[in-house]
Every structure is written in C-alpha cells, then in structure tokens.
Copies of this chain bind each other. A is one copy, B any other.
Amino acid sequence: MNYSKIIHQIEHELQDFPNNGKVASYIPELSKVDPEMFGLHLYCIDGNHHSFGDSTERFSIQSISKVFSLTLAMQLLGDDLWKRMDVEPSGNAYNSLFQLERENGIPRNPFINSGALVISDILVSEYDNPKDEILKFVRKISGKHTINFNEKVAQSEKQHGHRNAALANLMKSFGNIKNDINAILDVYFYQCSLAMSCEELASAFMLFANEGKILETNEQVILPIKVQRINALMQTCGFYDEAGEFAFRVGLPGKSGVGGGIVTVHPEKYSAAVWSPKLNQKGNSLLGMETLERLTTKTGLSIF
C-alpha cells in the first residue's frame, strides 16, 4: 500500500474543503489556536512514517489524554477498575450529569469526564505524584522527552472547571471518589493540558496498534488482551456522542479531543493522528473526521 501517495492525495482533495466547524471556546486558552492548522501523521507497523501539513506542531490534546491515564489505571488495578465504572457508550453529551445521577455515581465509561475523574482519583490513590507519572508514561511510549503540560491551559481549565467539580462532588456523594476533590481535579486539568504533535501522538498510540509493545524498543508495556479492550473502548466510546458515526464512517477505534486532534489505530497496521481545530456540532474535529474517512475508504481497510 502506497500510504504516502494516498495521504498526499487526501491533503490535496481537502485543500478547499468547506469547513464550517468552530474552534472550542469553553476555556479562553483553547480559543487562541490558529483555526487553519491542519496536519496528519501516519505511523506504520513496518516503522515507516508519513505526514503532511502541521504534523509536528504541538496542540492541546485534551480528552485524548484519557487513553493514557486509563492505560496507567488498567496496569495498576486489573478488573477491580470496572467496579467503579462501566464500559458502555453514554448516548448523551459527554459531560452530562443526568445518567451519572440515575446510575448512582458510576460513570458509563472511562472516556466521559466523570469516568476520567474516577481514573484521576485512582491515580491519586496509587501514586505519590500522579502528574509526574502521567508525563513519564507519555514520554516513554512516544519516545519524545520534551512533551509537557501547558501551564496556561491547565490554569484556564481550573478557572472554568465548575462542571467537572459538580461531577466530582456528585460522585463523592455516592462514594465513588475517595480523595480530596481539588487534588483529583488538579491531576485531571493537567492531564488535559498535555501538548503534543500529530507525530508524537501517532508514536504514542502505536502501542495500541502493536499489541502493547513499543515499536522502537519492543518493550511490552501492557498486555495484548488489555490493548484489545482499550481499542474496544475507543471504538464504542471514543467520540463523545458520535462514536457510532466514527465507527460507521471511519471504521477504526480512536479518540478525539476538543483541541481538534483525533488519533486512530488500525491494529497490526498503523496508528494515525490528525489535527484541525475546527469542531463539528458534536465536538469532534470536522476536517479530522473527513480526513480519516477518506483514509480508510482509499486504503479499503477498516477493522470491519
């Protein structure tokens, strides 16, 4: 498969694509991004890299970081983790309190905010310095040691984080948050502020295309059965209220963030990260989804 040719063809086709998406503005820091940024990085299991556009520019990965913290929590806790959250799509806006209230403080899955807050709570319980551990882990699996949190974004999240504080307090009232709420919010907001490029994201997510091993070093970081489950979760829950649409159009597991990034994984074939800040109405990168749909259509490859 000539991936290089295919992705440049897509880049060319999308040059004049009418993009009526909107940059996320719920925190001021996010709205400062250049809305026209657009890049893709494809990392093949044979070790080859292909990319176009702003693929080495770092951006706020936001909810994509939930895959990293989930992976850490799955290493630490095993199946006990699933007593504190479910693995089902929410069928609701990603930060809804409704379901959480009806279901007694048990989040639907680890990729909605409430689920990610429980993951933060676990990391706070298990680690002396959870933020350091997250950073260490991301640097290790991507092989990029300058990756860091964006302090301004983290502070901006904190100042506008009342909805997440509501979720955490609600879960604490049900006994599903063990630690101090400010401590877990701190971990959560920093994690969301991670700044990475498409190249770095594709490198990190190769772990999930390569049965849990870092491709460069062949180190087994997480068991294959756990990777399959993380991929299954990305497939059914990785796109807020649009997981079905992504499965339907793209046909690969993936995770998006309101910073405009989407990472997707074709097990045993490749990982790919795309970035375009303008979001569709469901909060996913409009051009990103279009790009990935064309990628699987042109390669004829989806997991289905």
A residues near B (Cβ < 8 Å) are: 86-92, 96-99, 101-102, 108-109, 160, 162-163, 165-167, 169-170, 172-173, 224-225, 227-229, 231-233, 235-237, 241-245, 247-248, 251, 253, 267, 297, 300, 302-304
Contact = CB atoms under 8 A, between A and B. Distances in A.
Contact of A244 (B88, B101, B247, B297): B88
A97 B91 contact: no
A222 B251 CA distance: 18
Given A97-B101, A98-B101, A101-B97, A304 B162 contact: no
12 contacts: A86-B244, A87-B244, A88-B243, A91-B92, A91-B108, A97-B170, A232-B304, A236-B247, A236-B248, A237-B244, A267-B303, A267-B304
A228 B296 CA distance: 11
A166 B162 contact: no
Contacts of A102: 98
Contacts of A245: 87-88
Contacts of A243: 88-89, 236
Contacts of A160: 173
Contacts of A166: 97, 165-167, 169-170, 173
Contacts of A162: 169-170, 172-173
